[in-house]
Amino acid sequence: NRMPVKKKSKWVGFDLGGTKMLAAVMDDKFKKKASVKKRTRNSDDGPSDILERIIATIEEVIDDAGLKASDISGLGIGVPGPVDHKKGIVMDTPNLGWKNVPLKRTLEKKFGFPVRVANDVDAGTYGEYIGGAGKKADCLIGAFPGTGLGGGCVVNGKIFQGARFTCMEIGHFPMMPQAPVWGKRQFATLETLTSRLCVSKEAAVEVFRGRAPALDKIAGSDFRRYKSGALAEAAKKDEVIEEIVHDAAAWLGVGLAGFVNVFAPDVIVLGGGMVEAMPKQFRDVVEKTMKRQVMEVYRDSFEVRVAELGDDAAVIGAAGLIMEQEQDDV
């Protein structure tokens, strides 16, 4: 049974990323009262250590806001990978070593307030819908190319989910049977054509060939050092790097055109590290490619926008999702 939502309630939004976690206490208008950012893990941390760090971070941000757990109306947390949204179980997050983690039950038992567990890109897309580039959209699709590629969808104010699991795993959409395959997949996916990891691997080859001297000077030949900012800077001087980035954006446009044909959204929001580093380039290439690829009837029915909230998107979205849940349950 749910408690009625308190007037002037306080909520916790939490974004669990692969390298950093961000938590914030905010009011009903999404005004922050306190925020805490920490590394997600130390080099020797295991799956259980990460959970302990989450709990400690929640305790710290509530304390920094001058509150107690009993003052909090609910917590929303965005996590990488698919989630059983009925039970609040994180199904599979390889980067964190998590599999079938009952996160909702664990946090509700610890703190005593309601918890909603969401996919992190769902939370980020919902955040952009609440207060960012997707405001007032009837049907919003979010695409966030970073280390991988995540997607989300908001339809008529509600996050789009499957019957049991979160969905919109657009990065895993199969694309090219003839292309190189990563891992155990049978086909190349949209993620393997558009992510920063994909761009970085191709860029490293060009550095090795001596065709990307600017990137070599900025970050050397180790593609693990190719952050979005480094790639953006190199693309201004190395024509081959600019071409690699252009191709990744174009493939993202091809994939998103398919989702336009399925969902007929009015707004597509692009976010993530590479888009933040090269906003105009990514947006222009993606939109141009989409216009060329979609069915003619949809060609002028949507707008491509760049995300506005940055790291705050998933935190605000996660808080918004728990607010929505609790208000619906009153």
DSSP code string of 244-294: HHHHHHHHHHHHHHHHHHHH--SEEEE-SHHHHHSHHHHHHHHHHHHHHHS
330 pLDDT more than 90: no
Looking at per-residue pLDDT, the higher value among 36 and 224 belongs to 36
Angle in degrees, CA 143, 147, 151, rounded to 5: 20
pLDDT (0 to 100) of residue 147: 85
Give the pLDDT band of residue 81 (cuts 50, 70, 90): very high
Could you tell me if 269 and 187 are in contact, meaning their C-beta atoms sit under 8 angstroms apart?
no
pLDDT (0 to 100) of residue 180: 54
Q: Average pLDDT of the chain?
A: 92
In this prediction, residues 205-211 reach a mean pLDDT of 96
Per-residue CA distances from 93 to 68, 97, 208, 224 (Å): 30, 6, 33, 20
Among residues 217, 214, 251, which one has the least CA distance to residue 236? 214
pLDDT (0 to 100) of residue 2: 43
15 pLDDT more than 70: yes
16 pLDDT more than 60: yes
CA distance 296 to 131: 31
122 pLDDT more than 70: yes
| Residue 185: half-sphere exposure toward Cβ, Cα within 13 Å | 19
324 pLDDT more than 60: yes
What does 115-146 look like in DSSP terms, one character per residue? EEEEEHHHHHHHHHHHHSTTTT-SEEEEEEES
178 pLDDT more than 80: no
Rounded percentage of the chain residues whose pLDDT exceeds 70:
94
In this prediction, residues 15-38 reach a mean pLDDT of 95
CA distance 105 to 8: 26
88 pLDDT more than 70: yes
In this prediction, residues 138-155 reach a mean pLDDT of 95
In this prediction, residues 151-170 reach a mean pLDDT of 96
Could you tell me if 235 and 278 are in contact, meaning their C-beta atoms sit under 8 angstroms apart?
yes
The lowest-confidence range among 149-158, 188-197, 244-253 is: 188-197
pLDDT (0 to 100) of residue 7: 54
175 pLDDT more than 80: yes
The shares of helix, strand and coil residues in the chain, as percent rounded to the nearest 5, are 45, 25, 30
Could you tell me if 134 and 154 are in contact, meaning their C-beta atoms sit under 8 angstroms apart?
yes
pTM for the whole thing?
A: 0.93
Could you tell me if 194 and 149 are in contact, meaning their C-beta atoms sit under 8 angstroms apart?
yes
180, burial (CB in 10 Å: exposed 0-12, middle 13-18, buried 19+): exposed
